[in-house]
Homo-oligomer: A and B are copies of this chain.
Amino acid sequence: MTKYPSKGLASEPSRRLGYLLKHAQLKMAEVNARTLAPYGISGRELAVMLVLTGQKPPSQQQAAHRLGIDRTTMVGLLDALEDKGLVSRHTDADDRRRNVVELTDAGQDTLRRAGAASEEAEREFLAPLSPQAAEQLRNSLHAIVHQRLAGTDG
Q: Which residues from chain A sit less than 8 Å from chain B, CB to CB?
A: 8-11, 13-25, 27-32, 34, 43, 47, 50-51, 66-68, 115, 118-119, 122-129, 131, 133-138, 140-145, 147, 149-151
Contacts and interface: CB of A to CB of B under 8 A. Distances in A.
Main secondary structure of the interface of A (DSSP, over half): helix
Given A8-B135, A13-B50, A137-B137, A20 B126 contact: no
Nearest to A53: B11
Contact of A128 (B24, B27, B143): B143
B10 A138 contact: yes
A98 to B, nearest CB: 20
Most buried by B among A27, A30, A151: A27
